[in-house]
């Protein structure tokens, strides 16, 4: 039942993913030839990986040569000597200059720049725009997806909680599916890494981060074409929260482990020599751990999207009866793997967060040696 | 790295922090807390139920052991009672026998005694009768002798016959 649903879902996802690409590429490119198509595909992939100011589902060029966009605009919120709020439809997908309160803004490569009324963008020697960038707090596509995911999670899990209340602790409906996962996070991630005594403090975060990442990863595989968890700002925010939680809940033993890892095992003059190297490494470790979390999630999700879209793009490069089915089969296989990766990356992020919380929460029991945490090198 | 920094969006970072923290707080209050509580309550319930079942089993074992013991005791008691009854019966029978023997002996002895007495009385009677007969004979003999000698003899004979007839 479940597997047939998943496979149906996947097939659906695949075809819908294909949809926008097909639409986008139907226009015969002026340059023609495979080289032009390649560049176009590359640009399309790069565009897809980025956040955008409007929720576009598909775009194509009609018979008259006008680009038609499917989707809806999103609110733009700028801080430029005062709060400026306007609809992203003013940009017309980057084609026009938006005028707000006498200021002109232009969308260039998904970033908003302040320009003159003509929309002139001045480039430096390396082709980077030198126009000023106002602080951009827009509700972008990724923010919308986070909101949607957040609401979905809230709806799912509050209704799950209510079901428990109603049935007196017996999981029914949605709880039947999610309870094993919740229990897995508690019994196989939180308790072994953090310890029986303190794990409950970190449980809400671990559960939230797991489902948040998992759901967003899964949304990334849908035709919506979002890439939230493959965005460095998102993973950095998550990693920052892990970093703050780790260090603010750190026990005396945790800090002692960083600044005095050898303890009383060695006289001070011996320790001095070692600590010159050891302590900076330990301090660096505090930052490297969440940094690794950030990069790992970002890189895995981005790589997945790049591979999948490149394989789909092969269809338009080969343009033959061999290349089509071949790239179809390959991208189908990769889609399946991506579903696994979506879950795996959520698991790894949760697992490693729990591991770091475990370091922070550990209190040395001097009577017996504590268990060495595993998976340290993941 | 430059690409990463270029890609980084403060706005998205800001929203992600706000939304995630909000989501964390809301889920914590309305979902994780009740869910985890319900689950742990259920686990406690299961643990308690198992312990109770174990206790009940032990109790059952105790009860059945008690039952066995009681049954054994009852059986032993019945055995003892039956044995006692048997003994009592045998004793009664034996007593009765002894009593009957004694009684019988007594009766026989009394009978013997009375027989003896009667015999003695009869003998005494016979003796007295014989004496009186002897006296009568002697008298008759003496009366006959007085008449004639033949007659006397004849009388004696008759008398003797008479005695024989008796």
pLDDT tens sequence across A22-63: 334 333 334 445 557 778 888 878 877 888 888 877 777 777
Taking an 8 Å cut-off on Cβ atoms, the answer to whether B34 and A164 are in contact is yes
Q: Which residues of A touch B15 (CB under 8 A)?
A: 137, 139, 143, 146
Helices H, strands E: what count in chain B? 4, 0
Relative orientation angle of helices A232-248 and A199-220, to the nearest 10 degrees: 180
Can you tell me the distance from the alpha carbon of B11 to that of A111, in angstroms, rounded to the nearest whole number?
11
Predicted structure pTM score: 0.72
Q: Which residue has the higher pLDDT, B12 or A9?
A: B12
Residue A140 CB-density burial (10 A; 0-12 exposed, 13-18 middle, 19+ buried)? buried
pLDDT at residue A18, rounded to an integer: 44
A152 touches chain B (CB under 8 A): no
Banded pLDDT at B81 (limits 50, 70, 90)? very high
Burial A253-274 (b: 16+ CB within 10 A, else e): bbeebbeeeeeeeeeeeebeee
Angstrom CA distances, A66 to A59, A63, A97, A275, stand at 10, 7, 18, 67
Can you tell me the distance from the alpha carbon of A231 to that of B102, in angstroms, rounded to the nearest whole number?
126
A151 touches chain B (CB under 8 A): no
Can you tell me the distance from the alpha carbon of A281 to that of A279, in angstroms, rounded to the nearest whole number?
5
A369 touches chain B (CB under 8 A): no
Distance from CA of B72 to the nearest CA of A (A): 47
Q: Which of A142, A203, A208 sits opposite B23 (nearest CB)?
A: A208
Q: Which of B4, B17, B45 sits opposite A232 (nearest CB)?
A: B4
pLDDT at residue A21, rounded to an integer: 41
SS3 assignment, position A77: strand
**Mean residue pLDDT across chain A:** 80
What pLDDT digit, counting tens, does each position of B110-145 carry?
A: 999 999 999 899 999 888 888 888 888 888 877 766
A229 touches chain B (CB under 8 A): no
H helix intervals, chain A:
2-25, 33-49, 141-167, 174-184, 191-194, 199-220, 232-248, 252-259, 268-318, 323-361
Q: Which residues of A touch B8 (CB under 8 A)?
A: 232-233, 236
Check: CB of residue A72 under 8 Å from CB of residue A55.
Answer: yes
Q: Which residue has the higher pLDDT, A316 or A302?
A: A302
Banded pLDDT at A17 (limits 50, 70, 90)? very low
Percent of chain B at pLDDT > 70 equals 95
Residue A53 CB-density burial (10 A; 0-12 exposed, 13-18 middle, 19+ buried)? buried
Tokens of A126: 């390396």
């Amino acid at each position: 039942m479940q597997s047939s649903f998943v496979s149906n879902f996947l097939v659906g996802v695949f075809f819908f993913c294909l949809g926008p690409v097909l639409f986008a590429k139907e226009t015969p490119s002026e340059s023609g030839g495979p080289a032009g198509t390649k560049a176009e595909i590359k640009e399309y992939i790069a565009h897809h990986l980025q956040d955008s100011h409007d929720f576009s589902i598909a775009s194509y060029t009609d018979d008259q040569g006008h680009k038609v966009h499917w989707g809806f605009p999103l609110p733009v919120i700028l801080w430029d000597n005062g709060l400026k709020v306007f609809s992203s439809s003013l940009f017309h997908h980057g084609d026009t200059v938006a005028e707000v309160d006498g200021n002109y803004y232009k969308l260039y490569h998904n970033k908003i720049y302040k320009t003159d009324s003509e929309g002139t963008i001045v480039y430096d020697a390396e082709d980077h725009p030198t126009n000023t960038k106002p602080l951009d707090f827009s509700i972008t596509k990724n923010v919308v997806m986070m909101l949607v995911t957040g609401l979905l999670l809230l709806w799912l899990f509050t209704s799950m909680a209510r079901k428990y209340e109603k049935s007196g602790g017996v999981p029914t409906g949605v709880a039947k599916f999610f309870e094993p996962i919740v229990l897995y996070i508690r019994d196989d991630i939180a308790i072994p890494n953090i310890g029986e005594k303190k794990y409950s403090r970190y449980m809400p975060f671990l559960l939230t981060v797991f489902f948040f990442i998992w759901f967003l990863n899964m949304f990334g595989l849908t035709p919506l074409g979002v890439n939230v968890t493959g965005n460095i700002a998102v993973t950095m925010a998550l990693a920052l929260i892990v970093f703050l939680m780790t260090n603010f809940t750190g026990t005396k033993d945790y800090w002692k482990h960083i600044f005095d890892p050898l303890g009383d095992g060695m006289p001070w003059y011996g320790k001095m020599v070692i600590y010159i190297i050891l302590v900076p490494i330990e301090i660096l470790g505090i930052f490297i751990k969440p940094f690794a979390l950030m990069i790992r999630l970002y890189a895995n999700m981005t790589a997945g999207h790049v591979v999948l879209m490149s394989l789909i793009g092969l269809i338009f490069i080969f343009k033959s009866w061999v290349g089509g089915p071949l790239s179809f089969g390959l991208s189908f296989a990769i889609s399946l793997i991506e579903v696994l990766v979506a879950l795996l990356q959520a698991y790894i992020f949760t697992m490693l967060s729990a591991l770091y919380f475990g370091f922070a929460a550990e209190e040395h029991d001097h009577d017996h040696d504590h268990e060495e945490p595993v998976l340290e090198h993941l | 790295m430059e690409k990463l920094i270029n890609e980084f969006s403060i706005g998205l970072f800001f929203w992600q922090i706000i939304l995630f923290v909000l989501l964390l707080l809301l889920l914590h209050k309305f979902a994780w807390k009740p869910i985890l509580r319900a689950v742990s309550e259920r686990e406690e319930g299961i643990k308690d139920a198992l312990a109770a079942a174990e206790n009940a089993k032990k109790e059952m074992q105790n009860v059945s052991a008690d039952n066995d013991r009681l049954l054994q005791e009852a059986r032993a008691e019945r055995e003892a009672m039956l044995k006692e009854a048997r003994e009592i019966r045998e004793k009664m029978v034996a007593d009765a026998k002894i009593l009957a023997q004694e009684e019988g002996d007594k009766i026989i002895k009394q009978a013997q005694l009375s027989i003896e007495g009667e015999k003695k009385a009869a003998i005494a009677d016979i003796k007295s009768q014989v004496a009186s007969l002897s006296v009568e004979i002697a008298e008759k003999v003496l009366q006959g002798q007085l008449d004639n000698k033949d007659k006397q003899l004849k009388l004696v004979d008759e008398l003797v016959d008479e005695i024989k007839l008796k």
